[in-house]
Structure 1
Amino acid sequence: MGTHAAQRNRRPTLFAALGATLLAALFGIPRADGARHSADACRTVGPSMPRGDCGPFWQVLAEDFDGDRVPLGSFSDCDHHTDTSAAYCGGLSGSYRDNWWAYPTGWRDTANDRARGVVGVYHPEDTVSVGPAENGDGRLRIRMWRPDDGGPVHAAAVVPRAVMQMKYGKYSARIKVTRLAPGYKSAWLHYGGGCEMDHPEGEWTGSLSAFHHPCGGGRQGSFHGGDDWTEWHTVSTEWTPGRVRFFVDGRQVGHDTRNVPDRPLSWVLQNESALEGPTAEPGSSAQLEVTWVTAYAYGWK
């Protein structure tokens, strides 16, 4: 700005406006016209799936689940080239076989490593399906359940193949728990080599949270939000060199810069038996629905 008196007298007002704009961009504060600013790279706030590149991120996956139906039983025979970008489920066909993998039947969930009375075992063949909702909107459905006679929870972890073993990126989805019961949770994550980033994570009867476990150990970054799993939310993780940021509905809910991963990791949409609170009752079930998933590679522009 210039240095003469007229312009100097206007600086506080201008800086206040700039400050308000910056805060709105960072925290998703509503504008005067009622619309919301979004702090994430795609400026995603509403229910529509974003298409195209966003800032330093270029889109490599845009799945709205409006294509072919995928009935229960299709996510089967997934024990091929596991945990690599060549992994696939033999029971799938077409674009879903090309684009999606799931933890194979028989893999144990995280609760097996904890002192929990009820644990889970991955069973994608009887928990994962794709089909339209009543309004015609395509949905990925993850229905976890516990048998009537007890035993392990049938859990599900699905993996977008396009971003397996990818370094950095942006990862987003529109999600809602449509059937609620105690004892079920999600921990969508990137992990490996002593590094882990989780978002969203939490028991479905609680609220969405995010966590960062720095590479090599140290105090975890813990970011607890007030958002309810039973409402529609857009969740996003932006992972760039030396920094990870977590968003809910365009609002940044946490970030960390301590020992952020700098190696390729896969994005796992992991859903399993709860690690805290009540365990799943025999005969119970709970369901998460996903209306779209997008993912982006990272590159300087």
Structure 2
Amino acid sequence: MPAVVLLVTGCSGGGAPNPPGAQSPPPASSAQSTAAPPASQAAPPETSAGPTPPPAPAAEPAPPPAALSDLELAGLQSLPVGDLPGWKQVFTEDFTLSDVPIGAFPGPAYQARWSAGYKDGTPDTAGQASGGQSGYYPSKVLSVSNGTLDWFMHSENGVFMGAAPTPRIPNASTAPPRANSLLYGRVSVRFRADSLAGYKTAWLFWPDSGVWPRDGEIDFPEGDLADYIYGASHWADPDPAAADVFFSKSRFPSWHIATTEWTEGRVAFFLDGQLLGAGITRTPNTPMHYILQTEACLPACPAPQTQGHVQLDWIALWSRV
């Protein structure tokens, strides 16, 4: 699949969810950012019960990339299970254990393997600068239905709401220890989203150290939900603008499989089995953790009436061997 690679000037970091005992997320920079919220959490605004979410569409077969064989296409549509050459599988999820209503994720079925991430009222990247106009509200956003993890992206009382859940995967970090960390890793996700201008994904590896931009960042799939999907390898470098970015010609409403392969000296991005590109400059080389960061208002907020769904059909992670 053709892609465009850019050296970004003006794109910056992401952030980690804040489950009990975890570090506080890092502060935002002045540049446009996918950074996580600051250590202090804003109190949730007073809200009503909120709108009733429209039914989420069920998962359907991914559109086939023309360059792949029928066998390869069939393999893409299914949750990949098992080790791969150079990779040991450490986590899989296809959300078939149970449905979970909004307000109850992860619930008994998923709580051993998932965190809902930031608490309600935590400002997201843009919300740090706007005083909380956008933020993370997992109790109003996350649910499981039709075999998918679902984000109901919407606003209440002028606040645009997202969520940043995380899988619990084996620990590679000792400073501090955490149950969601890898030093080099591979992640593959099958996802889609309604076309929602002003909402975005930045599903990312964020450094366990919390030191950004020094320790880098890896984002994929990233992009405004009404625009093109891209991947970004942020350099482990003092310059917050230094990154390699690879744009696809695909948009969010169709089902896609995005795969990130992070190895020593290389970060490669694949969309629907096709290589978008690989960053090889100052790639991250310290333990990082994976976050399904989904937020709003970068660079502009949605229209107040904008609402819809982001869906994750399955996710698989591998550690490097």
Q: TM-score range by the shorter chain?
A: 0.7 to 0.9
Write the distance in 1 (CA, Å) between the matches of 2:238 and 2:308. 33
Correspondence for 1:10:
none
SS for the counterpart of 2:99 is coil
Deviation at 1:168, TM superposition (A): 0.9
Deviation at 1:30, TM superposition (A): 2.7
Correspondence for 1:272:
295
Q: Out of 97, 110, 115, which is 2:125 matched to? A: 110
Deviation at 1:261, TM superposition (A): 1.4
Write the distance in 1 (CA, Å) between the matches of 2:75 and 2:227. 22
Give the share of equivalent positions with the same residue, in percent: 30
Deviation at 1:68, TM superposition (A): 1.2
Write the distance in 1 (CA, Å) between the matches of 2:70 and 2:107. 41
Write the distance in 2 (CA, Å) between the matches of 1:30 and 1:285. 34
Instruction: State the TM-score, normalized to the length of structure 1.
Output: 0.74
Correspondence for 1:135:
none
Write the distance in 1 (CA, Å) between the matches of 2:250 and 2:275. 13
1:256-291 per-position Cα deviation (integer Å, ceiling 9, x unaligned) = 121211111110000000312x52122321211111
Quick check: 1:257 aligned with 2:242?
no
Unpaired stretches in structure 1, ≥5 consecutive residues: 1-27, 39-43, 76-90, 133-137
Change (3 A) 1:208 1:110: same
**1:20-31 paired onto structure 2 within 5 Å:** 30=67
Change (3 A) 1:146 1:262: same
Structure whose residues are more often helix by fraction: 1
Contact 2:195 2:252 in 1 (8 A): no
Correspondence for 1:215:
236
1:58-116 per-position Cα deviation (integer Å, ceiling 9, x unaligned) = 111111111111111113xxxxxxxxxxxxxxx7224x1111012221211111345x6
Which runs of at least 4 in structure 1 moved beyond 6 Å after TM superposition?
Answer: none
Change (3 A) 1:203 1:170: same
Write the distance in 1 (CA, Å) between the matches of 2:221 and 2:297. 14
Correspondence for 1:85:
none
Write the distance in 2 (CA, Å) between the matches of 1:36 and 1:117. 50
Q: Out of 238, 245, 251, which is 2:261 matched to? A: 238
The amino acid of 1:215's aligned partner reads A
Q: Out of 131, 135, 144, which is 1:121 matched to? A: 135
Q: Out of 138, 145, 157, which is 1:131 matched to? A: 145
Quick check: 1:165 aligned with 2:181?
yes
Write the distance in 1 (CA, Å) between the matches of 2:98 and 2:248. 35
Write the distance in 2 (CA, Å) between the matches of 1:256 and 1:180. 28
SS for the counterpart of 2:84 is coil
Deviation at 1:35, TM superposition (A): 3.9
Change (3 A) 1:168 1:185: same
SS for the counterpart of 2:139 is helix
What's the RMSD between the two structures over aligned residues?
A: 2.2
Correspondence for 1:11:
none
**1:77-116 paired onto structure 2 within 5 Å:** 92-94=107-109, 96-101=110-115, 102-113=117-128
SS for the counterpart of 1:126 is helix
SS for the counterpart of 2:165 is strand
Instruction: State the TM-score, normalized to the length of structure 2.
Output: 0.69
1:41-61 per-position Cα deviation (integer Å, ceiling 9, x unaligned) = xxx853111111111111111
Unpaired stretches in structure 2, ≥5 consecutive residues: 1-64, 171-179
Correspondence for 2:220:
199
The amino acid of 1:200's aligned partner reads P
Write the distance in 1 (CA, Å) between the matches of 2:198 and 2:222. 14
Write the distance in 1 (CA, Å) between the matches of 2:247 and 2:168. 29
Write the distance in 2 (CA, Å) between the matches of 1:237 and 1:255. 10
Q: Out of 292, 295, 309, which is 1:287 matched to? A: 309
Contact 2:138 2:162 in 1 (8 A): yes
Deviation at 1:166, TM superposition (A): 1.5
User: Which structure has the larger Rg over C-alpha atoms?
Assistant: 1
SS for the counterpart of 1:166 is coil
SS for the counterpart of 1:266 is strand
Write the distance in 2 (CA, Å) between the matches of 1:71 and 1:37. 34
Change (3 A) 1:30 1:36: farther
Contact 2:196 2:224 in 1 (8 A): no
Write the distance in 1 (CA, Å) between the matches of 2:76 and 2:72. 11
Quick check: 1:174 aligned with 2:172?
no
The amino acid of 2:225's aligned partner reads W
